[in-house]
Amino acid sequence: MTVHIGAKPGEIAETVLLPGDPYRARWAAETFLENPRLVNEVRGMLGFTGTWRGHPVTIHGSGMGMPSISIYANELIRDYGAQTLIRIGSAGALQPHVKVRDIVLAQATSTLGSPSRAIMREMSFAPVADFGLLAAAHAAATAKAIPTHVGGVYSSDTFYDERPDLSDQLQRHGTLCIEMEAAELYTVAARYQRRALAVLTISDHILTGEALPSDQRERSFGDMVEIALTAAFG
């Protein structure tokens, strides 16, 4: 057990999927895993372990924002031996060619600041995805003919952003979308030499204001989970 994870030794798999929402963790576990069992509910952050095509998998909520995912990624790696961590979450599109329901695979991440910035001090560290996971996820998405984009994303440390000028510059420089966790996940994974990837579903569009209706989210998020699982074991 750790401060934030109540699982016993051996109850966390080496492959962990990390949705922000703990209830999405429950939905994904019940939908995609065989014999999922609850292994954590400390502070309401649900985690489930089961199997997918015979492979042990944990699906664990990570909360909202980089400080939250930093806590869970550190503890999952340091105390439970997680080797592969894949964020599955939503994002807001920044480019006209990226549409609602599309998948974005975060090749690299930009951020104004994260919990790891104090370690890097004056250096602008460039957190990137594990290439093997990235390539496998792209192959999985291509095989299912799912519209998918690979490139840079922006991990924001605020949800209600007051910087429209920053969004303009991110768009100008080809950033595909905005989300809130990947930069810190990639940095923590790099620190421990573990594999990490963010597979993101576009749920809304910053430029057009379009948003994915709530009754269509589960189907679109299902594609994301399948891609993540296939990438982890492909």
Q: Which domains does the chain have, with CATH numbers?
A: 15-233 (3.40.50.1580)
Residue 63 is labelled as binding a ligand: no
Residue 168 φ/ψ, nearest 5 degrees: -60, -45
Rounded to a whole number of angstroms, the distance between the first and last alpha carbons of the chain is 30
Task: Quote the pLDDT of residue 184.
Answer: 97
Residue 113 is labelled as binding a ligand: no
Task: Quote the pLDDT of residue 213.
Answer: 81
pLDDT at 135 over 70: yes
Taking residues 47-55, report their average pLDDT.
Answer: 98
Residue 97 is labelled as binding a ligand: no
Distance from C-alpha of 81 to C-alpha of 213, rounded to nearest angstrom: 37
Residue 203 is labelled as binding a ligand: yes
Q: What is the pLDDT confidence band of residue 79, given thresholds at 50, 70 and 90?
A: very high
Distance from C-alpha of 152 to C-alpha of 142, rounded to nearest angstrom: 19
Decide: residue 64, CB within 10 A, 0-12 exposed, 13-18 middle, 19+ buried.
Answer: middle
Q: Is 204 a catalytic residue?
A: yes
CB atoms inside a 10 Å sphere around CB 120: 11
Which residues lie below 8 Å from residue 194, measured CB to CB, with a gap of 6+? Answer: 77, 82, 83, 84, 85
Distance from C-alpha of 58 to C-alpha of 46, rounded to nearest angstrom: 11
Taking residues 175-195, report their average pLDDT.
Answer: 98
pLDDT greater at residue 218 or residue 191: 191
Q: What is the pLDDT confidence band of residue 189, given thresholds at 50, 70 and 90?
A: very high
Residue 181 is labelled as binding a ligand: yes
pLDDT at 120 over 90: no
The active-site residue, picked from 161, 204, 215, 223, is 204
pTM of the model: 0.96
pLDDT at 86 over 90: yes
Instruction: Work out the mean pLDDT of the chain and round it to a whole number.
Output: 95
pLDDT at 219 over 70: no
